[in-house]
A and B are shown apart, each in its own frame.
Chain A
Amino acid sequence: MDQFTLNLIVVGATFAIYIGIAIWARAGSTAEFYAAGQGVHPVLNGMATGADWMSAASFISMAGIIALAGAGGYQQSAFLMGWTGGYVLLALLLAPYLRKFGKFTVPEFIGDRFYSGGARLVAVICLIVISVTYVIGQMRGVGVTFSRFLEVSTDTGLYIGAAIVFAYAVLGGMKGITYTQVAQYIVLIIAYTIPAIFISLSLTGNFLPQLGLIGGYAPTGGDVTMLAKLDSLVTELGFTAYTADSSNMFNMFLFTMSLMIGTAGLPHVIIRFFTVPKVADARSSAGWALVFIALLYTVAPAVGAMARLNLTTTFWPGAVTGSALSAPAVSLADIESKPELSWINTWKATGLLNYEDKNGEGMIQYFNEPKAVAAANKALGEAKKALADAAADADKAALETAVTDATTARDAALAEAKLGDKTLAEMGLVGNELTKVDNDIMVLANPEIAALPGWVIALVAAGGLAAALSTAAGLLLAISSAVSHDLIKGSINPNISEKGELLAARVSMGVAIAVATWLGLNPPGFAAQVVALAFGLAAATIFPALMMGIFSKRINKEGAILGMIAGLVFTAVYIFMYLGWFFVPGTATYANTPDNYFFGISPLSIGAIGALVNFIVAYVVSMATKAPPQEVVDLVESIRVPKGAGKAQAH
């Protein structure tokens, strides 16, 4: 059976399971549609939260983001700590109290606690910006995974994915989504860990990747540790050491903090804790969620380090037993003929990986070009392009001189720059010949690199789709419930019947899927940057508002509204200054480089400061204005004690 058929069977089987669950878990009431009837077992909710949280980015990209980072793998630990540590904040500071509150949406709590439709509206706006931003990436992830494994176009893949989500999200709401997410979690975790276990066994002899990360390097007998081996190879090739310290500890600190606070403030994660029966369940369910997330998040850094090591030894065969430069680089002939290297050309065809024999000696040398060489090569490339693009009748003498000059400058740079104890010129190198390695390849190509059977490759395809679909569904529910419950029921038509609201919720879900699909088909060019905005805003608006609503009886509506707006504006403006105003290309006030950052704070890390701004503004304004009314103080008293948390009131 060929790989394509196998992929089709495995992916088709998982989709059949999701549809089956959708039919079984139809929602009959708004309580079921918004919160799965508050009857989800805490362990199952933990599993569903894991799938809800772990997106296409976590599954496909994160290991590569760690493995290939220019500043070394250690600096990227911010993602690992940030995207897990947020659950501690969620469990301690938000989930149990919001479960006790016992209603359906995040804006609803903010509206009730701050006795203001305005506060609820600000929360709805933040929620929609955050969730829509996020969902674009998921829809792209679905389309891209389809196109890579199932030989359909990205757009067709997106339509199929949207149809599947439509089936179980519109039919089952939170109930359908919860139980499909449980199934999706199981698929994605198996798909992620099997290749990781094999790679860990072959490189370190350890069955558990978590032990492999700190284990010995098996091919030379295990005396040298895997990380030490990796460090010595990458530094030999001119890269920053894998375990190198962060170049800006303050920024790494803030980035980690922003990701943690942002995670705890993401509405689609928070609403998962409305589905458990009791307050105590909300606490333990956050623990279970983190257990299931940790199964992937503690493996990811091991996959990253080992895949980087594999990549290096693939292109420098001598590196397996000695130093990288102790033997010639991999030859083109070997890449073409050796079966264990066939994955290189397979993935070259997808554009995720590319190589070019620049010096024409039949080998592919992978190394980090020193800055001067990289700049000289870039200048030479531009000069050559100018010459090639010139009109036939144009005066080419000046352009030809420019190319000659650029070549001389480049050769001078090559004679200066060293790799090992020789200069690049002495080694006959003109530049790095592994011209592209996409982050995603570190996970997607793993089964082939480890020479695993075809069904494992098919499982990785199904796992990538499960990760993207489960997160998309969770986000879409957060969006549609904000529209049907907070906007329609909350302000446009408060007298809507239960049946009418359920219909409105289904229609909102359908519309949300249509909009997300359209955005996935026509992604704004800035999709990647907007994720920074999503985390920044969640950290600077929703998290502080919720936390103050629970832990303070004095913060009033004026404070909360102005605090959220201040956090929102501060964070958005700082991000826009570096990434372009409203992400319009070319409108950035400052170039997005560390030299331009205030106190070295990157726009990705600003959410933590935005949260601080929110807290301060809310406190100062509240102190200067009237205390909240008695019924709000009573509400706060009531959410602080678990006793009396029943089913959500239909109110």
Chain B
Amino acid sequence: MADKSSSNAYWAANIRIILISLVIWFACSFGLGIILRPALKGIMIGGADLGFWFAQNGSIYVFIILIFTYAKMMGKVDAEHGVEE
């Protein structure tokens, strides 16, 4: 196990990345896909309104980008704190 102080700074960095990611996760699906759909009806993505597109396709693309970005950022944080495998 890494020493405690490094581990705590590491954990704080991890939590920060998780929280930012979860905000994006929530915003693209529950936000654009559900709650904000009626308000954003006028914006079209091709033949679908923005909310419909995010609910049926867009949010899934964002999820994928989100996971890979998270994995990459965490890889960097792991290395910075010397806790990588």
- Residues of chain A at the chain B interface (Cβ within 8 Å): 73-74, 77, 80-81, 84-85, 87-89, 91-93, 96, 210-211, 213-216, 225-228, 243, 245-246, 249, 252-253, 256-257, 278-280, 283-284, 286-287, 290-291, 294, 297-298, 301, 634, 637-638, 640-645
A284 close to B71 (CB less than 8 A): yes
Complex Cα spacing A91 to B68, Å: 9
Nearest B residue to A277 via CB reads B85
Nearest B residue to A96 via CB reads B74
B1 close to A243 (CB less than 8 A): no
| SS class, residues of chain A in contact with chain B | helix
Which residues of chain A come closer than 8 Å to B84, judged between CB atoms? 280, 642-643
Nearest A residue to B82 via CB reads A643
Partner of B63 from the list A85, A279, A284 (CB cut-off 8 Å) is A85
Nearest B residue to A249 via CB reads B34
B61 close to A294 (CB less than 8 A): yes
B43: interface (CB < 8 Å): no
Complex Cα spacing A644 to B82, Å: 11
Partner of A257 from the list B30, B52, B55 (CB cut-off 8 Å) is B30
Q: Can you give 28 contacting A-B residue pairs, CB < 8 Å? A: A77-B55, A77-B56, A84-B60, A84-B63, A85-B63, A88-B67, A91-B71, A92-B70, A213-B47, A213-B56, A214-B46, A214-B48, A216-B47, A227-B47, A243-B49, A245-B37, A253-B30, A278-B85, A283-B67, A287-B64, A287-B68, A287-B71, A290-B64, A290-B67, A301-B57, A640-B14, A641-B83, A643-B85
In the complex, which range does the number of interface residues on chain B fall in? 35 or more
CB within 8 Å for A88 and B1 given contacts A225-B47, A257-B30, A301-B56: no
Complex interface residues of chain B between 9 and 37 (CB less than 8 A to chain A): 10-11, 14, 18, 21-22, 25, 29-30, 33-35, 37
Partner of B59 from the list A81, A210, A216, A641 (CB cut-off 8 Å) is A81
Complex Cα spacing A246 to B51, Å: 12
Which residues of chain A come closer than 8 Å to B18, judged between CB atoms? 92-93
Nearest A residue to B57 via CB reads A298
B33 close to A77 (CB less than 8 A): yes
Which residues of chain B come closer than 8 Å to A85, judged between CB atoms? 25, 29, 59, 63
- Closest 8 CB pairs between A and B? A225-B47, A214-B46, A77-B55, A287-B67, A283-B71, A301-B56, A641-B83, A643-B83
Complex Cα spacing A634 to B4, Å: 10
A242 to chain B, nearest CB (A): 9
CB within 8 Å for A213 and B71 given contacts A256-B29, A643-B84: no
B68 close to A640 (CB less than 8 A): no
B30 close to A256 (CB less than 8 A): yes
B70 close to A283 (CB less than 8 A): yes
Partner of B67 from the list A91, A280, A644 (CB cut-off 8 Å) is A91
Q: For chains A and B in complex, what number of residue pairs have CB atoms within 8 angstroms?
A: 148
Complex Cα spacing A238 to B38, Å: 22
A302 to chain B, nearest CB (A): 8
Complex Cα spacing A245 to B85, Å: 48
A211 close to B46 (CB less than 8 A): yes
Given contacts A89-B25, A287-B64, 17 further A-B contacts (CB under 8 A): A74-B55, A80-B56, A84-B60, A88-B22, A91-B71, A92-B21, A213-B48, A214-B45, A214-B53, A243-B49, A283-B67, A290-B64, A294-B61, A298-B57, A641-B2, A643-B1, A643-B83
Complex Cα spacing A526 to B2, Å: 51
Which residues of chain B come closer than 8 Å to A228, judged between CB atoms? 47
Complex Cα spacing A252 to B84, Å: 40
Complex Cα spacing A551 to B85, Å: 21
CB within 8 Å for A227 and B48 given contacts A278-B85, A279-B85: yes
B71 to chain A, nearest CB (A): 4
Which residues of chain A come closer than 8 Å to B48, judged between CB atoms? 213-214, 225, 227, 243
Partner of A286 from the list B4, B33, B60, B67 (CB cut-off 8 Å) is B67
Nearest B residue to A640 via CB reads B11
CB within 8 Å for A642 and B56 given contacts A88-B66, A283-B67, A290-B63: no
Complex Cα spacing A638 to B75, Å: 17
Complex Cα spacing A210 to B2, Å: 46
A464 to chain B, nearest CB (A): 22
Partner of A280 from the list B11, B33, B38, B75 (CB cut-off 8 Å) is B75
Complex Cα spacing A294 to B59, Å: 10
Which residues of chain A come closer than 8 Å to B55, judged between CB atoms? 74, 77, 80-81
Nearest B residue to A244 via CB reads B52
Which residues of chain A come closer than 8 Å to B74, judged between CB atoms? 96, 280, 283
A241 to chain B, nearest CB (A): 11
Which residues of chain B come closer than 8 Å to A96, judged between CB atoms? 74
Instruction: Determine which residue in A93, A284, A286, A287 has the highest number of CB atoms from chain B within 10 A of its CB, and name it.
Output: A287
A226 close to B47 (CB less than 8 A): yes
Complex Cα spacing A84 to B7, Å: 31
Which residues of chain B come closer than 8 Å to A297, judged between CB atoms? 60
Nearest A residue to B45 via CB reads A214
Complex Cα spacing A93 to B21, Å: 11
